[in-house]
A and B are shown apart, each in its own frame.
Chain A
Amino acid sequence: MKRLTGLLAATATLLSMTALASAAETANIWVRADGSNFMPQIVEAFNKSHENQIKLDIIPNAELVQKYATSAAGGTAPDGLSLDLIYTPAFAAAGQLEDITDWAKSLPYFKDLSPAHVKTGTYKDKIYGLPFSADSSVLIWNKDLFKKAGLDPEKGPSNFAEIAANAEKVAALGGDVKGFYFSGACGGCNIFTFTPLIWASGGDILSEDGSKATLDTPQMRDAIALYRGMVEKGLVPEGAKTDSGANFFAAFAGGNIGIAPSGAFAIGALNTQYKDIDYGVTFLPGKDGGSSSFAGGDNFVVTKGTPKLAVLKEFLDYAYSLEGQTLLASRGSLPVRGDIAKEALKDLDPRYQIAAEAMAKGRTPYSVVFNDIINSANGPWAQMINEVFFGDDVDGSIANAQETMQGIIDAGTGQ
Chain B
Amino acid sequence: MSSITAKAGVVTPAAPARRRSKIDRGHWVGLLYIAPAIVLVTVFFVIPLGMTAWMSLHNWPLMGQHRFIGLDNYVAITKDVRFWNALKFTLYYTVIVTIAIFAVAFPLALFVEKPRPMNGVYRTAFFMPVVVGFASASLLWAWLLNVDSGLFSPAAQQLGLTEKKFNLLATFNPAFWSIIVMVVWKVAGFTMVILMTGLQSIPTELQEAAKIDGANAWQRFRAITLPLMRRTVALALILSVAGSILAFDQFYILLRGGPRNSTITAVYWIFNQSFVSFKLGYGAALSMVLLVILVVLSLIQLRLLRNPEGT
Seen from chain A, the residues whose Cβ lies within 8 Å of a Cβ on chain B are 65-66, 68-70, 72-73, 91, 94-96, 185, 234, 237-239, 241-242, 244, 371-372, 376-378, 382-383, 386-387, 390-391, 415
Contact (Cβ within 8 A) A66 B62: yes
List residues of chain B with CB within 8 A of the CB of A378: 256-257, 261, 264, 268, 272, 276
Contact (Cβ within 8 A) B260 A94: no
- Contacts known (A239-B148, A241-B170, A242-B259); A72 close to B63, Cβ less than 8 A: yes
Interface pick from B97-105, B121-129, B159-167, B209-217: B159-167
Contact (Cβ within 8 A) B167 A383: no
Which B residues, 171 to 208, have Cβ-Cβ distances below 8 Å to chain A? none
Contact (Cβ within 8 A) A372 B260: no
Partner of B257, one of A69, A91, A377, A391: A377
CB distance from B196 to the nearest CB of A (A): 38
- Contacts known (A238-B166, A372-B276); A91 close to B63, Cβ less than 8 A: yes
**Bound CA span A372–B148, Å:** 30
**Bound CA span A383–B169, Å:** 15
Secondary structure of the B contact surface, majority rule: loop
Contact (Cβ within 8 A) B260 A387: yes
Contact (Cβ within 8 A) A65 B64: no
Known: A95-B65, A241-B167, A386-B259. 16 other contacts (CB 8 A): A65-B62, A68-B63, A72-B63, A91-B63, A95-B64, A96-B63, A238-B147, A238-B170, A239-B165, A244-B258, A377-B257, A378-B261, A378-B272, A378-B276, A383-B260, A415-B59
A-B pairs with the 5 shortest C-beta distances? Answer: A94-B63, A94-B64, A241-B170, A69-B62, A69-B63
Contact (Cβ within 8 A) A69 B147: no
Of all chain A residues, the one with the shortest Cβ separation from B168 is A242
Of all chain A residues, the one with the shortest Cβ separation from B275 is A66
**Bound CA span A391–B264, Å:** 19
**Bound CA span A415–B62, Å:** 13
List residues of chain B with CB within 8 A of the CB of A185: 256, 258-259
**Bound CA span A69–B166, Å:** 42
| Per-residue interface assignment for chain B, residues 258 to 286, with 1 indicating a CB less than 8 Å from any chain A CB and 0 otherwise | 11110010001000100111100000000
CB distance from B154 to the nearest CB of A (A): 11
CB distance from A380 to the nearest CB of B (A): 9
Contact (Cβ within 8 A) B167 A242: yes
**Bound CA span A391–B260, Å:** 9
Of all chain B residues, the one with the shortest Cβ separation from A386 is B260
Contact (Cβ within 8 A) A377 B64: no
**Bound CA span A297–B165, Å:** 36
Seen from chain B, the residues whose Cβ lies within 8 Å of a Cβ on chain A are 59, 61-65, 146-148, 164-167, 169-170, 256-261, 264, 268, 272, 275-278
Q: Would you give 25 A-B contacts (Cβ < 8 Å), ordered by A? A: A65-B278, A66-B62, A66-B275, A69-B63, A69-B278, A73-B63, A91-B63, A185-B258, A237-B148, A238-B148, A238-B167, A239-B146, A239-B147, A239-B148, A239-B167, A242-B170, A244-B256, A244-B258, A372-B276, A376-B272, A376-B276, A378-B276, A382-B261, A383-B261, A415-B61
Partner of B277, one of A68, A238, A371: A371
List residues of chain A with CB within 8 A of the CB of B275: 66
**Bound CA span A376–B258, Å:** 12
List residues of chain A with CB within 8 A of the CB of B165: 238-239
**Most B Cβ at <10 Å: residue of A185, A234, A376:** A185
CB distance from A214 to the nearest CB of B (A): 22
**Bound CA span A96–B64, Å:** 7
CB distance from A146 to the nearest CB of B (A): 23
List residues of chain A with CB within 8 A of the CB of B146: 239
Of all chain B residues, the one with the shortest Cβ separation from A66 is B275
**Bound CA span A369–B9, Å:** 55
CB distance from A40 to the nearest CB of B (A): 27
**Bound CA span A383–B260, Å:** 5
**Bound CA span A378–B83, Å:** 13
**Bound CA span A372–B272, Å:** 9
**Most B Cβ at <10 Å: residue of A237, A242, A382:** A242
List residues of chain A with CB within 8 A of the CB of B65: 95
List residues of chain B with CB within 8 A of the CB of A73: 63
**Bound CA span A236–B261, Å:** 22
List residues of chain A with CB within 8 A of the CB of B63: 68-69, 72-73, 91, 94-96
**Bound CA span A9–B191, Å:** 46
CB distance from A32 to the nearest CB of B (A): 16
**Bound CA span A73–B64, Å:** 8
Contact (Cβ within 8 A) A372 B277: yes
**Bound CA span A72–B63, Å:** 8
CB distance from B272 to the nearest CB of A (A): 6
List residues of chain B with CB within 8 A of the CB of A72: 63
List residues of chain B with CB within 8 A of the CB of A94: 61, 63-64
**Bound CA span A91–B257, Å:** 27
**Bound CA span A94–B279, Å:** 12
**Bound CA span A68–B147, Å:** 36
Contact (Cβ within 8 A) B258 A242: yes
Partner of A238, one of B64, B164, B268: B164
CB distance from A103 to the nearest CB of B (A): 23
List residues of chain A with CB within 8 A of the CB of B256: 185, 244, 377-378
**Bound CA span A376–B59, Å:** 21
Of all chain B residues, the one with the shortest Cβ separation from A372 is B277
**Bound CA span A238–B164, Å:** 9
List residues of chain A with CB within 8 A of the CB of B260: 383, 386-387, 391
List residues of chain B with CB within 8 A of the CB of A376: 272, 276-277
Partner of A242, one of B147, B268, B272, B277: B147
**Most B Cβ at <10 Å: residue of A95, A372, A377, A390:** A377
**Bound CA span A73–B280, Å:** 13
**Bound CA span A376–B64, Å:** 21
List residues of chain B with CB within 8 A of the CB of A65: 62, 278
**Bound CA span A381–B42, Å:** 43
List residues of chain A with CB within 8 A of the CB of B164: 234, 238
